[in-house]
Structure 1
Amino acid sequence: MRFLDRFSTLQLIAIAAASSALILAGAFGFQALGYAPCKLCLWQRWPHAAAIVIGGAAVASGQKALAWFGAIAAATTSALGFFHSGVERKLWDGPSSCSGGSVADLSVDDLLSQINQAPLIRCDEIPWEIMGITMANLNAVGSLALAVLWVVAATRKA
């Protein structure tokens, strides 16, 4: 962590917020390339947006205590990324609205309604990966690192 000693608390907060902005830009870039996001992908974007706002507010006000909220936002999107990674790998079920699931207990009317309202993008399918690493995996680990960065900023003495 000595590398981080080069930066002030507010600089660390700005770096963390800018990193969330870059992650969001990357997500929108993939979307522009034709990789439409699923419901879980969209859920992972909201905490990054919150982290950007929190970081801006912290830098503008000089309130390093806001870094705790940035840490919560980054940890939330990391947790969603890990959950999504498990859904992609079929380790557990995702939301029924975007994952495969049992239809045994559904009536014909309920099944038809679900089919008609079903999203086009499934959460339990991997749209892109490189060397076995998916976008959800990248977000999970990268956001966890950002959560640590936020905590470092929040706990700094100076």
Structure 2
Amino acid sequence: MTRMFLFALLAAAAPLFARASEGLWGIAPCELCLWQRWPYWVAAGLAVLAALLPGWRRPLGLLAVVAVLASGAIAGFHVGVEQGWWPSPLPGCQVPRAAGGTSINEMMRALAPAPSKPCDAPTYLVPGLPLSMAAMNLLYALGLSAAMLIWMRRGVRA
């Protein structure tokens, strides 16, 4: 049971750290960054339910792992966008482009009310470390889900 609570805490730590990095270091998230956070909240909620409902511990724990892997999949896609391997389909990830013949006033009206960060501009948290925050999230999601699967497979009281 305590391992499920630990898993919930570690799942919630990822989006909380990302949000804290915005406030502490002024890092602006892109739309894909925001998408990566939601599966962690789902995983944390499922892990808490698994801890509280012993009869459902295994299926809810597996669903929590799947939710963390979903964030990892979004992070992997985000790394591909950052590296230019493919474009992001999300409109918020694109830098607005003006159509030919539009006036300056029309271009200004087309801008978002708050500036957003394009998804293909990686954010590096640690100077000198060539891992973007999206890549770090991918590694974290893989590590966290692997740890939980090992705990569950060993039959240790998850």
TM-score (norm 2): 0.78
CA contact (8 A) 1:89 1:124 kept: yes
1:73 aligns with 2:67: yes
- State the one-letter code of the partner of 1:53: G
1:86 aligns with 2:71: no
SS at match of 1:48: helix
Q: In the alignment, which of 5, 10, 13 is matched to residue 19 of structure 1?
A: 10
**Structure 1 residues 52-67: aligned runs within 5 Å:** 52-62=44-54, 63-65=56-58, 66-67=60-61
- State the one-letter code of the partner of 2:33: C
Residues 24 and 61 of structure 1: CA distance in aligned 2, closer, same or farther (over 3 Å): same
**How many Å apart are 1:100 and its aligned residue?**
4.3
**How many Å apart are 1:91 and its aligned residue?**
1.6
Query: 1:114, 1:94 → 2: CA distance?
Result: 23
1:116 aligns with 2:111: yes
Identify unmatched segments of 5+ residues in structure 2: none
Residues 114 and 100 of structure 1: CA distance in aligned 2, closer, same or farther (over 3 Å): farther
Residues 128 and 115 of structure 1: CA distance in aligned 2, closer, same or farther (over 3 Å): farther
Query: 1:120, 1:46 → 2: CA distance?
Result: 19
What residue in structure 2 maps to residue 152 of structure 1?
A: 150
Residues 114 and 132 of structure 1: CA distance in aligned 2, closer, same or farther (over 3 Å): farther
CA contact (8 A) 1:16 1:149 kept: no
**Structure 1 residues 30-45: aligned runs within 5 Å:** 30-33=21-24, 34-45=26-37
Residues 117 and 95 of structure 1: CA distance in aligned 2, closer, same or farther (over 3 Å): farther
TM-score (norm 1): 0.78
1:51 aligns with 2:43: yes
RMSD over aligned CA atoms reads 2.8
SS at match of 2:91: coil
How many residue pairs get aligned? The number is 147
> Once the two structures are superposed, what CA deviation does each residue of 1:5-44 show, in whole Å capped at 9, x if it has no partner?
xxxxx33322221111211221111111211211101100
What stretches of structure 1 move > 6 A for 4+ residues in a row? 106-109
**How many Å apart are 1:116 and its aligned residue?**
2.5
Query: 2:64, 2:2 → 1: CA distance?
Result: 14
**How many Å apart are 1:58 and its aligned residue?**
0.8
Query: 1:108, 1:61 → 2: CA distance?
Result: 62
